[in-house]
Amino acid sequence: MTLYDFLYYIILPILSISVILIMFRFLKGPSIVDRVIALDLLITTGIGIIAVYSIITNQPAFLDIAMILALIAFLSTVAFSYYLEKRNK
């Protein structure tokens, strides 16, 4: 079994199952805070999928997008918490 097969048939399905589970919580979430947390973890899992894809396709340029996604995840969480707290004031 080569590294390509291992990543393609084992690692990526595990990450996809994680995305499905997190998406379930995103749709179900009792409060809006649960949805924000699920969105944050969804983007973080996306960074991991991008890292695995950059290994599979041998394209290191994909890691730039991973960095930008990390920035967007942090900014979105901060903005959501700021405005939610303002709304409840």
Residues found near other proteins in the complex (CB under 8 A): 2-3, 6-7, 10-11, 14-15, 17-19, 21-22, 24-25, 30-34, 36-38, 40-41, 44-45, 47-48, 51-52, 54-55, 60, 63-64, 66-67, 70-71, 73-74, 77-78, 80-82, 84-85, 88-89
CB of 40 to other proteins, least distance (A): 7
Indicate the residue type of 7.
L
Minimum separation from the CB atom of position 44 to other proteins (A):
5
Question: Least separation, in Å, of the C-beta of 33 and other proteins?
Answer: 4
C-alpha closest to that of 23 among 7, 8, 39: 39
**In the block, which residue shows the tokens 């979105």?**
76
Nearest to 42 by CA among 29, 23, 28, 24: 23
Residues contacting residue 76 through CB under 8 Å, at least 6 positions apart: 39, 40, 43
